[in-house]
Amino acid sequence: MHKKITRRAFCSMLLALPIPARAQQPKKISRIGYLAVSDAASEFTRAEAIRLALRERGYIEGQNIAIEYRYMEGMRDRAAERAAELVRLKVDIIVVAGGDDLTRAAKNATKTIPIVMTGRGRDPVEAGLIENLAHPGGNVTGITNINRELVACNR
């Protein structure tokens, strides 16, 4: 069954992931890594929806969160390099907007930073990105818009 996820539900999922806090230190600005297959202009609508949903919950880019954007600009061979950049920047979470290859690149770059896939790509279990839909295991989670029955019919 295909279930459309709302911007609010997606943001709630992002905010539910653990972001480490340190006692008695200046308030940490959480860093979100945004990894996308296209370019900034093509991703503007999706990225803006995420920013607006975060703002509704009091998270304002430049004030209490920072978003590090990395784009492949259509060149999928840049995925590993861009994912590694986000890991070096020590982001708290990586949001992947681009399918299996991008999610796999992020997964290969880190075993500890939570990765949120946004629903593009094949069945994430078949792709080897998660253990199963109910309990993904590892550090990859998110949404999928794949309907197993429809996928089986299209093979």
Cα distances from 47 to residues 2, 152, 154, in angstroms, run 23, 31, 30
Work out the widest C-alpha separation in the chain, in whole angstroms: 56
Angle between helices 100-109 and 79-88 in degrees, nearest 10: 40
pLDDT > 70: what percent of the chain? 75
Question: Which residue did the predictor score with more confidence, 106 or 2?
Answer: 106
Question: Which residue did the predictor score with more confidence, 80 or 19?
Answer: 80
Distance CA 65, CA 11 (A): 13
pLDDT at 67: 94
Homologous superfamily of domain range 7-11+28-153: Response regulator (3.40.50.2300)
Q: Are strands 65-71 and 30-36 parallel, antiparallel or unpaired?
A: parallel
pTM exceeds 0.95? no
* pLDDT per position as a tens digit, 113-145: 999 988 677 778 887 788 887 888 888 888 776
Distance CA 152, CA 120 (A): 17
pLDDT band at 2 (very low <50, low <70, confident <90, very high): very low
